[in-house]
């Protein structure tokens, strides 16, 4: 144990040192963190994490949050990602942050100019964390100290959070929570997966008044998708664990106090696996109430990204998105325009691909937007007013935005 401790201690020192090195060049965008002219150490201090989220602020600036050492950093671009400002430190006090795959810092840019940033703070034990939120009342120039969203403070899993604001300015946080799984384990009862929890803030994330369990038995490592329904209430979709181990999706409407207004099954692919898909869904709802979704599942022996519409109790128009290597799709809607983005390995390079519809989803045009040779993050669709953009961070090219016309 002593040896393991000293090993971890060394890793911790290394982490701190790398943070110092990283902060010394804080004016550079994340792509420039890697010095390609210097030989990289064979063993990194920690797992490389490229998880980044972006959103357009009310004034049109593109904001992005990502992790740098033990800090979440907010970057700002006034020219659609061509150049980025020196980053703002979101959490002044350092803390371990998860920013990998489906679990990454998020941000909400509210019409009032406030910016809400969330992340999962890693706790001591493996697979444990807590959901943190920090608010900026000045458009992301400075942040109040972060708060922990959930009341449960056990050293267990609370992570994979998602944020959405409704038209009244309420901020909803949804996350995957292991408290019910832990309680079952202590009582020697079986429990499938994690639970989805919700908390609601009525002061733009400065505090959270309501907390509720949305559903038992979610998957443990897939992001939660959220969109506002036509009645203004959030609708969320997550990968569920149906008995005994079927990883299809479930959907729930959320009330203003965080409680669910009924849970329905959203997909019917029947992927049975005791494993971690690391591949969550995305949802966009039209003004006509049509729920457009993209998701990943293994169906008929092949893992594919799907698009479909989700009327209650069934899927309409389910089809493949991209080829057999398509992955991590995201979807957004603006009037009659719908955009789907994903990444896809073409045998040599990883491509950023998009499908754009201008007729409410009746037809889609496929376009290849970019390609990269090394590590790339999952792409996202962003809205600036009614314009749609793809956002993609890659190791070599940095953070970029691509208009989707």
Partner 1 sequence: MMRLFTVLVASAMSLSAWAGTAFQTLDRQSASALVQPARHNRPTIVALWSSECPHCKKNLALYAHVAKRDKRLRLVTIAAEPAWAGLAVPLDKLGVPGERYAYSEDAPEAIAHALDPGWRGELPRTLVFDGRGGHVAVSGVLDEQTLRRALGLPGTTRK
Question: Which residues of this protein are in contact with partner 1, per CB under 8 A?
Answer: 3-4, 6-8, 10-11, 13-14, 17, 20-21, 40-48, 100-101, 126-127, 220-221, 245, 273-279, 296, 298, 302-303, 324-325, 327, 343, 345, 347-350, 372-376
By beta-carbon proximity to partner 1, the closer residue of 47 and 167 is 47
By beta-carbon proximity to partner 1, the closer residue of 135 and 351 is 351
Query: Closest Cα to residue 229, out of 275, 302, 277, 164?
Result: 164
CA angle 24, 30, 32 (to 5 degrees): 70
Q: How far is the CB of 194 from partner 1 (least distance, A)?
A: 10
In whole angstroms, give the CA distance from residue 64 to residue 243.
Answer: 38
Residue with tokens 């990283």, as numbered in its chain: 22
In whole angstroms, give the CA distance from residue 302 to residue 311.
Answer: 25
Q: How far is the CB of 237 from partner 1 (least distance, A)?
A: 19
In whole angstroms, give the CA distance from residue 125 to residue 216.
Answer: 23
Q: How far is CA 219 from the centre of its chain?
A: 15
Q: How far is the CB of 390 from partner 1 (least distance, A)?
A: 18
Both tokens assigned to 4:
């393991």
By beta-carbon proximity to partner 1, the closer residue of 61 and 241 is 241
By beta-carbon proximity to partner 1, the closer residue of 166 and 182 is 182
Q: 393 - beta bridge partners?
A: 399
What region does 19 belong to: left with phi over 0, alpha with psi -120 to 50, or beta?
alpha
By beta-carbon proximity to partner 1, the closer residue of 6 and 112 is 6
Both tokens assigned to 60:
């049109």
By beta-carbon proximity to partner 1, the closer residue of 11 and 26 is 11
Q: How far is the CB of 126 from partner 1 (least distance, A)?
A: 8
In whole angstroms, give the CA distance from residue 351 to residue 252.
Answer: 33
Residue with tokens 């376009």, as numbered in its chain: 367
Q: How far is the CB of 111 from partner 1 (least distance, A)?
A: 35
Q: How far is the CB of 300 from partner 1 (least distance, A)?
A: 13
DSSP 185-231: HHTT----SEEEEEEEESSTTS---EEEEEEEEE-SSSPPEEEE-TT
- HSE of 240, CA atoms in CB hemisphere, 13 A: 22
* Cβ density class 355-371: b for 16+ within 10 Å, e for less: bbbeebbeebeebebbb
By beta-carbon proximity to partner 1, the closer residue of 70 and 100 is 100
By beta-carbon proximity to partner 1, the closer residue of 143 and 242 is 242
In whole angstroms, give the CA distance from residue 324 to residue 241.
Answer: 24
In whole angstroms, give the CA distance from residue 200 to residue 174.
Answer: 9
By beta-carbon proximity to partner 1, the closer residue of 88 and 224 is 224
Q: How far is the CB of 46 from partner 1 (least distance, A)?
A: 5
């Amino acid at each position: 144990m002593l040896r393991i401790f000293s090993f971890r201690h060394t890793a911790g020192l290394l982490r701190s040192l790398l943070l110092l090195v990283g902060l010394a060049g804080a004016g550079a965008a994340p792509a420039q963190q890697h010095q390609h002219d210097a030989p990289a150490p064979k063993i990194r201090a920690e797992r490389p994490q490229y998880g980044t989220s972006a959103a357009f602020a009310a004034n049109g600036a593109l904001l992005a949050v990502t992790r740098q050492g033990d800090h979440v950093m907010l970057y700002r671009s006034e020219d659609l990602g061509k150049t980025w400002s020196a980053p703002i430190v979101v959490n002044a006090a350092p803390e371990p942050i998860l920013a990998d795959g489906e679990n990454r810092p998020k941000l909400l840019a509210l019409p009032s100019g406030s910016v809400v940033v969330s992340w999962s703070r890693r706790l001591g034990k493996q697979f444990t964390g807590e959901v943190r939120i920090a608010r900026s009342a000045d458009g992301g120039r400075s942040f109040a100290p972060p708060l922990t969203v959930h009341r449960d403070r056990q050293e267990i899993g609370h992570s994979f959070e998602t944020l959405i604001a409704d038209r009244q300015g309420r901020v909803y946080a949804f996350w995957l929570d292991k408290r019910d799984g832990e309680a079952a384990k202590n009582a020697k009862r079986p429990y499938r997966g994690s639970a989805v929890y919700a908390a609601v803030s009525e002061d733009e994330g400065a505090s959270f008044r309501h907390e509720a369990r949305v559903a038992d038995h979610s998957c443990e490592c897939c992001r939660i998708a959220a969109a506002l329904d036509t009645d203004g209430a959030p609708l969320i979709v997550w990968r569920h664990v149906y008995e005994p181990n079927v990883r299809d999706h479930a959907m729930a409407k959320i009330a203003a106090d965080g409680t669910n207004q009924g849970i329905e099954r959203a997909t019917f692919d029947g992927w049975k696996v005791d494993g971690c898909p690391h591949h969550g869904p995305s949802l966009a709802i039209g003004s006509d109430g049509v729920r457009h979704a993209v998701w990943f599942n293994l169906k008929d022996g092949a893992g594919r990204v799907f698009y479909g519409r989700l009327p209650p109790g069934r899927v309409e128009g389910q089809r493949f998105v991209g080829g057999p290597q398509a992955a991590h799709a995201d979807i957004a809607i603006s009037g009659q325009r719908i955009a789907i983005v994903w990444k896809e390995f073409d045998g040599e390079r990883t491509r950023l691909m998009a499908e754009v519809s201008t007729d409410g989803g009746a037809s889609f045009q496929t376009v290849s937007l970019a390609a990269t040779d090394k590590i790339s993050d999952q792409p996202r669709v962003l809205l600036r007013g009614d314009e749609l953009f793809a956002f993609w961070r890659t190791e070599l090219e940095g953070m970029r935005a691509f208009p989707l016309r």
